[in-house]
A = this chain, B = another copy of it.
Amino acid sequence: MTDLVRAHPRLLRQSIREGRHTGPTAGLSRGWAQANLVVLPRDFLEDFLLYALRNPIPCPVIDVTDPGDPEPRLAAPGADLRRDLGRYNVFRDGQLTEVVDHLDDLWTAEMVGVLLGCSYTFERALADGGIPLRHVETGRVVPMYDTNIATRSAGPFSGPVVVTMRPVPTPLVSRAVQISGRYGMAHGAPIHVGDPAVIGISDLDAPEDGDPPDVREGEVPVFWACGVTSQRALLAARPPLAMTHVPAWMFVTDLLDEDLATGIPLQPVAGGGRGRTRESDG
């Protein structure tokens, strides 16, 4: 059996495309960046890109396909966004209508795919840095909350900033800010530390998405901007058809987590980055 934790993303994507791996992607192809996917009609692209550029912390764009082309040439040359994710949400007129396992029929010549950085990148770094992640330890989904912070709108796209919350032991809060802050293309540093009421969250035990948290004595709630912000904006814009990844079934790129901190190298390595390795591959 292939060790998907250590597998190159190309092998993991192939496994997903061929239906051999059907589960979530968290922790797989360790060290390579995973991404949120938003697919929408090209008529909506300009406003969506404006929206993302005006809200880069919740919506960090890492690649955009050409219309009709399902290959993300920068993030994963050779990949196929129609088939390389395990599950997709389908939205019609802003409403979630179905969950599908490929987009062969839905990805018409009018559709474009946008990849956005994802919290898995900084979570890996937090874990490597000795910051415990309660929702991982307990096998829960990280809680997500709407805040009273409005995004900067663009055309029909608007809505609240959505955040994830992770409880951090008080002595480690500064360290967690510094570690995650390096990953500017994966939500970066927390946008709030401490009292949830300050950002409009009245009850930590009632997240809009994910599982209720388990905040213990001596821990501080720490809030990071979340990619679900872009899904809220998509609901507001109500395109006739749009698709996204299903949370936890992410797109696995050929970019390193480090690329989302230091920037994607300007001079592509021969072979579109495929020859790049991590230290642990050596």
Interface residues, chain A, CB within 8 Å of chain B?
45-46, 49-50, 52-58, 61, 63-64, 73-74, 149, 151-152, 161, 181, 184, 188-189, 191, 225, 262-264, 266-267
Contact = CB atoms under 8 A, between A and B. Distances in A.
B152 A263 contact: no
Contact of A191 (B55, B152, B266): B266
A57 B263 contact: yes
A111 to B, nearest CB: 15
Contacts of A46: 45-46, 49
Q: How many copies does the complex hold?
A: 2
A53 B56 contact: no
Given A46-B46, A49-B46, A266 B54 contact: no
A57 to B, nearest CB: 5
16 contacts: A45-B46, A49-B50, A49-B53, A52-B53, A54-B64, A56-B264, A57-B266, A73-B152, A149-B266, A149-B267, A151-B266, A184-B184, A184-B263, A188-B263, A189-B262, A191-B266
Contact of A263 (B56, B149, B264, B266): B56
Nearest to A62: B53
Contacts of A263: 56-57, 184, 188-189
Q: Lowest 10 CB-CB distances: which A-B pairs, in order?
A: A46-B46, A49-B49, A184-B184, A53-B61, A149-B267, A57-B263, A149-B266, A191-B266, A50-B64, A161-B266
Contacts of A73: 152
A64 B50 CA distance: 7
A213 to B, nearest CB: 21
B152 A74 contact: yes
Nearest to A65: B50
A117 to B, nearest CB: 12
A220 to B, nearest CB: 19
A131 B45 CA distance: 42
A264 B58 CA distance: 12
Nearest to A52: B53
Contacts of A264: 56
A54 B52 CA distance: 13
Contacts of A45: 46
Contacts of A61: 53
Contacts of A55: 266
Contacts of A53: 49, 52-53, 61, 64
Contacts of A149: 266-267
